Amino acid sequence: MAQQDRAIRTRRVILEAAASVFDDQGYDRATIAEVLERAGVTKGALYFHFASKEQLALAVLEEHVVDIAVEPQKIKLQEFVDAGQVLAFRLRSDPIQRGAARLAVEQGSNRLDRKRSMLSWTRFVEGLLTEAKERGEVLESIVVHETAELFVGAFAGLQMMSHALTNQADLCYRLTVFFEHTLPSVAVPAILAKLNLDPERGAKLDAALQGKVLAEAETDVDANAGTDVALR
């Protein structure tokens, strides 16, 4: 179990190092050597988890969707808003999110299948909007798949503009403005009035999520310690 935990941690360290290199250099200029230097691992450790730079980049693109998991809400559209605000907040400093964002939108080598990220985010948003519509929170006229693609594409543009102007510092505010302009054409009025679009909500939710992750990790450590004692 301890060996498996170490392998999981090592993989995460490598992914975060690779993401930071992709964020700084882009895919084409990024090198395995720089990833190794930032991760502080051996070449053997890296290649145990990832066979190539392309696999590293694809893993970063996949990981950034998995990382966004907000707490369930009574209103499903609130979860949709929350996921966007958490992502917007994390794009300020989270290496996985920043690296994946650059990989997804940069114009460069055709060797990397960048559409995976857009498709994954579209499926994620479509799932939230589908459930919201089934609950009666979304207008009947809404075509969920088209709306999901609109939000994903618009967010990509928002984060590119925010990155260019403020290095993502104002992205949460820009997203709130976008929600204020678009959600009235998506949500039924009774639901719209209940949505919390506060641009500071992403920071608060992220702090709560990180605290939960830390508490769970400490619980796992205590449980493993207890198992080790019992086996002695």
Q: Cβ distance 60 to 99 under 8 Å?
A: yes
**Range 194-216 average pLDDT:** 88
Which residue stretches of 67-109 are H helix? Answer: 76-90, 95-105
Q: pTM of the full predicted structure?
A: 0.82
Structure tokens that stand for 13 in this block: 């360290």
**pLDDT of res. 19:** 95
CA distance 79 to 71: 7
CA distance 10 to 6: 6
State yes or no: pLDDT of 42 exceeds 60.
yes
Secondary structure element (H or E) that encloses residue 161, with its range: helix 144-166
State yes or no: pLDDT of 227 exceeds 80.
no
Structure tokens that stand for 118 in this block: 């857009």
How far is the CA of 122 from the CAs of 90, 105, 117, in angstroms? 19, 15, 8
Closest CA to 114 of 122, 106, 126: 106
